[in-house]
Amino acid sequence: MYIGEPQTAGSHTREAVTSSARGTSRTAFASPRFVRFTIEQIFLATPRADQPPRHPEYHVVEADTVDAALEGFLSNASATLVGEVQKFPGFQAVATAKADDTVFAVNLLPGSDIFHRAT
């Protein structure tokens, strides 16, 4: 369940809360049954060679597994995996993905239980 959605049983409607500050983007999803992940999106290649690399973006997502968190993030970003996902103990993973002509690394780390709304 996402923040901003009424808590009803069997609800599959999702609403994301997104904010942007100083070149970062945060998308938050909330539910008491899941692990909160911080996702760092590091841009490796851009469509044009003369275009400077973008600043990393940070997202917060909740899911029951690291695979579900990655799948949900890639689906929202309209991206596909490039290569394999490297998983580490403690709900951590690193992957490379591609959306259109942009290639980026994705780092998934367990996040804090504290949620601060953007001001």
Q: Give the pairing type, strands 24-28 and 17-21.
A: antiparallel
Is this prediction's pTM over 0.85? no
Which pLDDT value is given to residue 115?
59
What is the structure's pLDDT at 94?
A: 97
Residue 26 or 111, more confident: 111
Q: How far apart are the first and last CA of the chain?
A: 22
What was the pLDDT predicted at 53? 74
Q: Which pLDDT belongs to residue 101?
A: 85
**Strand pairing partners for 105?**
42, 96
pLDDT for 117: 62
pLDDT tens sequence across 86-102: 999 988 999 999 998 88
CA distance 63 to 68: 6
Q: What is the pLDDT of residue 91?
A: 87
